Structure 1
């Protein structure tokens, strides 16, 4: 079995690297770094970094598991040095995973300490941890873990959106004007910087990166917080609940979900919202909108874990789009009626689509087929591919009917399906030309049929007749009676 030596690289400058760690790094043993994004890497001998895994993996859990798997595999060939920023035992999930697995495989493990971001922060902030200090991870902090009466250091504030999430969490327990200090590259005198300001502004800093931490001084002026959620904004509570369900302590089903596994639920919930709206029940609409909102939040949480985007960036992007598409409200254009608004809206969307290579790009494949056909035809018509009048479309419908009949005569099922598709596409074109939504028209027709069929069933039952046993003439009589009501 081999020896795994885990080395802490310290916060940055080589002079803060321990002599023992320096000797091991220069020893010529196979050297692996979690990341080469560290000031010390320029002074190191040949090494292999795992930065590519951050680009290839779906989320951080996959990154960390991939690193552990590769380090364990290299141990089969001999001793290995694995180096991480700071101290190996401070905020290093790969180390927490690697040590027990390496030992279970029969390898020996040695941890060589390094100066962590914490020691550097103690010096930068002039604080004594022995007087009481709470240390938290920005990726896992919750309102419940905060203790406002204690000085608090929050590590891993390495992206603006993490700072934005952290801000919302802090505001559950602290006043929004409570002064906090953001520190970058603590311990490196050449690049260290800090800025003190209110909690409400921490996500506005333009220099947040992988070396950024937050110090929150203690305060007695706390915000009342109730764990049952009554004091929490409903949206914040939903986002926090979904995040917890996805956490290791949460629900196995939620943990297993991916963007693709949830697509069917997004479609189902959207249709259920439409059904509730058509049922004209405010309570049902509220309930179904909540189910649809859950899908938005869950998709956003999955993306957040993968470092792609989060619910705040989704909302911010939509807000920016609304502002951009309403220049008559937020800009200097004028629109006195809804018709003018729609014209401006289409002009702006056309400008946004200008970057697309093809006219029909961007129409979602997952749309219901009638909706997608309508959108495709409208796109084509905008660039001049359209009939001069509706008669040409009616002629096309008649042509497609003839081709369907010919396909039926041939007995070829693929041909029948193909020609029926062409006929439906032509009928959608009629609806488009007449400015009728084909999906809505078909939905209403289906609902009308359903209601009439229910009335027909009731009439047959009242007459003591079984629908499955009545004659065609009786069917017709019951149907006409149902239509006449």
Structure 2
């Protein structure tokens, strides 16, 4: 098997080229370069060193991945016939995808690699910026990175920012987290005699003339808490501070039990914003729900039982395990099959040896009897305990209603309670059959009543100022006015 030697051309000009690398280039019989657009290659050409570039491959594809894959495929075909050298900018193992693809090919036994040195662009970048990487830094590819990957509290270096378009894409991605006037530094040809540094506000990043294939964009770490409010770790620090020794007395005293009602209230308030299709308030209310999650996580950490990472691991593991059609090789053709797989996986998770868990286990909700009723009936329906048509549901409701009416006349408080419970249970089942959330319906009815009664109260206060001064018919007239003013949606 012939050998493919990969060598790094360094990060800057010929003066910075390592002597060992220079000698190997002189001795090589056949040299291929990913791109000719590198200052070292101009000097090598004047000394009679010949090389062949893959620049023409870039013109054939719209994305970089197929470019790199074609380069690798071509190199593999060449090395079948003879030993060759492949030269890349910087160091072969730093931000060079073609080399990573070749390493994968080596693992598969397709090629024998010899990877030589070459200064990466990182050392001259750190030197130009006068920063110590021990503080923590991220190196990302400007063509593929996501704002979700960025840690605003670390040094951020963005490579592959080679023209105005790529700079514009980087700018838009960064503005998902950073303010538009956050300072960023454009570093060009670091370590060479042509080294240039220019610091601009983020919104001007794609207007800088210095951007070329030797450009790296540097984003300094955020040191002001108020500038890092889009960072998850900032919110976690806020909650930890609130619960800490110098924090808020109220937050310090909270327990899982004391926060239960707040969790329920915040979820209901969010559901209301969904009904109102109010995006701005959705953001606010989801933040309040998230606050409850982080508070419970912090309490768990303070007490030494669990922390936020435990929660993330548990839910991530569950989502991967319950979606084998996404994260594994299971095939599904419909939502019904997805649901069937989900239930099958849940039963397997809850299995206790050979004794299956009761079907209704885990469906009780202490904070909502309506939701518990819905959960029970949904679970029973999934195993076939269900009317064959909606007629059966309505007949059951009529039966339970008549039984309640009978107990109103002839029964005791206990039997009336029992029969009225059956009526409510059947109503929840009707709601489930027609894909209505009984919980949401009740919340909507409560809001509607509060709104209309508020109007009635306002009329009373504007008039005789005492409910007792009005007949029921007069109060009911106010109620009807409220209905006309707000419609059925209020």
TM-score by length of 2: 0.48
TM-score by length of 1: 0.48
